[in-house]
Structure 1
């Protein structure tokens, strides 16, 4: 019996998060159903089925990880042929029997900001404050034993997606000018990244001072927890998870297939965009 880790890509839009929930469509439920259907696992306890992270409803992934034991050789594309298009296996790796995907060496999250009023200089300033080890008690909804976490790096980049859009969809307007915020760390608290992004935006639009950010990261023992509203999950991607000594091998066909699915969904979004734009224009003409 061999133990295998799989790297999962999914579009989170139509999922109620990763973790299984009664009568709701989730990523974990889909994976377990199809792994059972194909004979890779039967009893979850005996197969030691484990997951790396429980992403919220709407959050996307290119790098979440599951692991399980099976006597059957894992065939990535056999599983993908059974899975729905919005969830696919991208890579696999053999792992030791004691491997627990929860304990990672590094996680990378990307939040995509779509605002024209962001001061990039201020975004980089607040990123420098967040780097390092801090008390993130103000950046989670749950009370946990320890809220100390370490941010290894944060990279702010102005994305240039227009070339791809122009090639694939020449009629799409140049309305997209996203900013990528890539955050790297060993582990994160629940809602931590989305609360961080709220603070990033508030600083970048001049609503919050850098001094206040310092206070949020260094709360006094008896201070009440700050009420930081999370930003939308739809713009958050779990980009990757890495482990010491584990080398994932990406399947070229699987990655190309998932890419095609993403391109197809872009075409659908363009058509929806065009319909809404035409309705807006017609309303403007009525008032003209």
Structure 2
């Protein structure tokens, strides 16, 4: 069978991350279960032949352009895939790939976004902090990795304001575990005046900061895996797959907006009796 790559979008909240874990639901489990239901993956097989994914994401992280590739029959289109996938996971594009294609190793770059609720943050300070991140650095103190090669290259790191949110966009040759979320915490600390911009340089020099000053990871819920880039592949969007992504995620956005309104109603409806206020 030829090798085929699929672009996959997902809402990471119902899952315990992307990669399979014992006795816990993951995005990868959903993909493999769908392939078994479609008869592409045998019941006794661990994974499809040639299978690899562009990257791993933690529980709660969203995906837009996650990419998985494996040996697949010609009839397995994104819409056929979606027919057996849960609504939280949608395939929306595909590309035929060389027989030796590997979705992890062949990615030229990866891109992430983090949407940070920060109405009082200074955009210019945030941008100055992000600019210092561009280039090749040892990110050991900004990740959950303490050994091995922790040097990576960020080709872009930009910040824009979208209403009450700051959106940090980063692209690089690879990302260590928790790296993007720790970068977000560092940029936020600079943008709110908690630390000076020079703190970024210290964080990029392993061993300089005491442990209590190393930025913690920001919550996973604001992170989106935007894409893995493969210059040699030409992805073809599936009309029905794209429509399905929009339907599912527009509906989830509407429900989230309603939940937010009700939360604000409850928070604003609490009254304190002056006689009981202490």
Q: Which TM-score applies when normalising by structure 1? A: 0.88
Taking the TM superposition and a 5 Å limit, the aligned residue runs for 1:144-163 are 144-159=147-162
By how many angstroms is 1:142 displaced? 1.9
Specify whether residues 177 and 223 from structure 1 end up closer, same or farther in structure 2 by C-alpha distance, changes over 3 A only: closer
By how many angstroms is 1:47 displaced? 1.2
- Structure 2 stretches lacking a partner, 5+ long: none
What is aligned with 1:182? 169
Taking the TM superposition and a 5 Å limit, the aligned residue runs for 1:19-30 are 19-30=19-30
SS of the residue corresponding to residue 279 of structure 1 reads: helix
What is aligned with 1:55? 57
- Structure 1 stretches lacking a partner, 5+ long: 160-175
SS of the residue corresponding to residue 88 of structure 1 reads: strand
Taking the TM superposition and a 5 Å limit, the aligned residue runs for 1:83-162 are 83-103=85-105, 104-159=107-162
By how many angstroms is 1:286 displaced? 6.5
SS of the residue corresponding to residue 39 of structure 1 reads: coil
What is aligned with 2:186? 199
Taking the TM superposition and a 5 Å limit, the aligned residue runs for 1:1-288 are 1-42=1-42, 43-44=45-46, 47-103=49-105, 104-159=107-162, 177-219=164-206, 227-284=214-271
Q: Which TM-score applies when normalising by structure 2? A: 0.91
Specify whether residues 279 and 224 from structure 1 end up closer, same or farther in structure 2 by C-alpha distance, changes over 3 A only: closer
After TM superposition, the runs of 4+ consecutive aligned structure 1 residues lying more than 4 A away are: 222-226, 285-288
By how many angstroms is 1:45 displaced? 5.7
By how many angstroms is 1:218 displaced? 2.0
SS of the residue corresponding to residue 83 of structure 2 reads: helix
- For residues 130-173 of structure 1, what are the alpha-carbon distances to aligned partners after superposition, in whole Å with 9 as ceiling and x for unaligned? 001011010111233211100001121122xxxxxxxxxxxxxx
By how many angstroms is 1:115 displaced? 1.1
Report which of the two has the higher share of helix.
Answer: 1
Specify whether residues 281 and 198 from structure 1 end up closer, same or farther in structure 2 by C-alpha distance, changes over 3 A only: closer
